[in-house]
Structures are given as structure tokens and as C-alpha cells.
Chain A
Amino acid sequence: MEIIQIIGIGLMSTVLILVLKEQKPMFAFLLAAATGILIFLFLIGKIGGVISTLQRLAESSGMETVYLKTVFKIIGIAYIAEFGAQIVRDAGQESIASKIELAGKVLIMTLAVPIIGIIIETVMKLLPA
């Protein structure tokens, strides 16, 4: 029933933000950011459970941990970049939000570079010179 708690927090903070926005827009933004972080923290425990389960499954199936680590890095970068970008977007800074997203994309792409390197090297060796 955590979803109800989360929705409760979300609704409360939305009403408060709407009220505050007329008087002090600055505090409204702070409240929004704090609510976002609160919900995120709420979810971190759950995510940890999922990740440890996945890890255990991967180990038992003999999968290489490097692959798993790469996948987790992708999820982590995507989520954190998205989260930061939304907070900044709430504050009205659309351009900075898009820069944060760009950074997330670039970081995900850099994860692909070593994989591409290995694949291309292998293919080049497969082909006769």
C-alpha cells in the first residue's frame, strides 16, 4: 500500500505548492524539489531489493557481472538525469534541463564505446586481411 502513501504525499504537496506559489514562488519550488526527493528516497529501498534479486539470479545463472553492471549503470544514469532535469524544469529553466538530459545521453553513449570497440575488433579479426 505504499502507492497510497506516495499519492498522499504528492497530493498534499501539490495543494501546498499551489497555495505557496502566489505568495512565495521560491518556497514553492523548494517544496516541489523536496517532495520529489522524498518520493525518490521512498523508492530507493524497493529498487535496491529488485537489483539485489537480479544480481543473485545473474550470478546463479553464470552470467558475467560486467554485463549486469553495465545495465544497472544505464538505468541509474537515466533515472538520475531524468530526475534532475525535471526538478530544473519545474523551476522554469528549460534550457538547463535539456543540458542535463544531454549529459545523461552522452554518459550512456560512453558506456557503449568499449562494447563497440570489442565487437569491431572481433569482426575485423574475423575478416581476412
Chain B
Amino acid sequence: MSWLGGWLREIIMIVLLASFVELLLPSKSMERYARLVLSLLVLLTMLSPIVSLMKGDAASELSLAFRRSDGGGPGLSNAEDAELRQILADGKKLAAGGRDQSLKLAAQQIAGQMREQIAGETGQRGANVTVTLALANEAGDNTMPVITAVVVTLPAGSAEQSDAPQGSGSVGSVPISVLPVDDIKVDLGEGENGLKETGESSGPAEPAAAVAGEDGGSGGADAKAVTALLEKNWSLDPAKIKVLNGGSEKL
């Protein structure tokens, strides 16, 4: 019942105020217009229970509408606008974080698959595969992740490499090169380019740190086999595949 009392009191107040204001008005010419606005106010006050039932508080709706109509800018300018921008920036940051994570996950999964393929087809167990994914911006809006580099570190203990690990061969690993990968699709939100994630499928060793050495001997043949395998299975540009001999790390 208290809301009824408040409502009645509000109506009475606004009608009194309106009649008072009508007396105060200076000229006849303004009177019609002022009377229109005043009667609308009285009407709104009478409707205010319905308004609050429909869409929230009538008075706050009205003040919001006034602020919006007062030149659009000043109402929503500094504080709220900055707040909005802050929220948008946060959202963008979150989206970028999610993209980072999914890229990382995808890179890890790809690396795992590559490792299994290498193990299955060349018999090199425990190879350490590191895949670097980046978002390529093809045709503007559609960004899709692309493998930019694959580093395979062959295990040091494998039979072929144990005999001839002369680390500083320097003939340049058979760096082999590349077609952008089309069949690997990772569903990400749209995003900016230049994100890079490295996923690493765990071999026991460190990811191929700074080892550039490549054996001239049978290890080289092995590396070639691995490269050819990856090139065929993933349709990669051979230049993006780098096979390192894990044995050279030990030297």
C-alpha cells in the first residue's frame, strides 16, 4: 500500500507544481507549449506504475533519455565512455588470450601427430618435434593458422647417429620449404595476425635449442627421410622443416 501513497503524493505534487508554473509563465505565446510539456509530465507520473512494470523505473528512464537527448555527447562522454572502452579492451585481451591458448594447443597436437608419424614410418623413436603456428591473414577477414616452422630433433641414441656425430658439418641442414598448410584448421575467433605459438611434443630432450649442426653421414639421410615424410604428409614447404641431430647437442 505504501507505493500507492507515494504514487498519489507524487501526482498531487506534480499537479500543484504544474499549476504554479503555469501562473509563472511570462507570456501567452509560451503558454501552450509549456502546458503541453507539463501535461505530459503529469501523464507520465500517472503512468509511472505501468512504466516501472514494463521497463524499469520511470524517472531513471526519463533522466537517461534526457541525457541522451542533451547533445548526445556530454551524457555518455567521459566517464561512461572510458568505461566502455575499458570493457571493450578487456574483451579484446581475453579473446587474444583464448586465441593464444588454442593456437598453443593446436601446435601441441600437431607436434604429437608428427612425432607419431615419424616414429611409425622411419622408426625414429623419441624424436622431439616443435611446431610453430602463426595466424595468416588470408583475404582479409578469414584468419587461419598456418605452420610456419617445424623443428625435428632426432634422438641422439639412435643407431645411425651414434657412429658419426661430427657436429659442425655446416652444409646447412636440408632446410626444406614450404606450402602453407591448408588441411590443418583450428577454429579460432577472428584475430590479428602475428600471433605465434609454439607447441612442443615432449621428447625427453630440450627443444632444439641452438643446434644447427647436421651430420654429413647417415644422419643426413635420416633427416632427409623425415623431411620427405613431413613434406608429403602435411604438404609443408620443405624450407620450413628443420631436422636437427640430437647427438650434436652432446658434443
Contact = CB atoms under 8 A, between A and B. Distances in A.
B132 to A, nearest CB: 55
Contacts of A54: 17, 20
Given A71-B18, A119-B47, A66 B9 contact: no
Q: Is the interface of B mostly helix, strand, loop or mixed?
A: helix
Given A63-B14, A67-B17, A71-B41, 20 more contacts: A58-B13, A63-B9, A70-B66, A71-B21, A71-B38, A74-B21, A74-B38, A75-B24, A75-B25, A78-B25, A78-B27, A78-B30, A81-B30, A82-B27, A82-B30, A118-B51, A118-B61, A118-B65, A121-B55, A125-B55
A115 B62 contact: yes
A105 B26 CA distance: 13
Given A81-B30, A118-B51, A61 B44 contact: no
How many chain A residues sit at the interface, stated as a range, is 35 or more
Across chains A and B, which 4 residue pairs bring their CB atoms closest together, nearest first? A114-B65, A64-B59, A82-B26, A78-B30
A126 B40 contact: no
A61 B10 CA distance: 7
A62 B10 contact: yes
A111 B66 CA distance: 8
13 contacts: A63-B9, A64-B59, A66-B66, A67-B45, A67-B59, A101-B29, A108-B33, A114-B66, A116-B40, A118-B51, A118-B65, A119-B40, A125-B54
Interface string A40-51: 000000000000
A112 B40 contact: yes
A121 B47 CA distance: 12
A115 B40 contact: yes
B6 interface: yes
Interface of B: 6, 9-10, 13-14, 17-18, 20-21, 24-27, 29-30, 33-34, 36-38, 40-41, 43-45, 47, 50-51, 54-55, 58-63, 65-66, 68-69
Nearest to A112: B37
A58 B26 CA distance: 23
B34 A78 contact: yes
B31 to A, nearest CB: 9
A51 B91 CA distance: 47
A80 to B, nearest CB: 10
A82 to B, nearest CB: 4
B136 to A, nearest CB: 48
Contacts of A95: none
Contact of A105 (B20, B21, B33): B33
A31 to B, nearest CB: 22
A67 B41 contact: yes
Contacts of B13: 57-58, 61, 63
A67 B30 contact: no
Contacts of A75: 21, 24-25, 34
Interface in A63-121: 63-68, 70-71, 74-75, 78-79, 81-83, 101, 104-105, 108-119, 121
B30 A105 contact: yes
A126 B21 CA distance: 31
Contacts of A23: none
B40 A66 contact: no
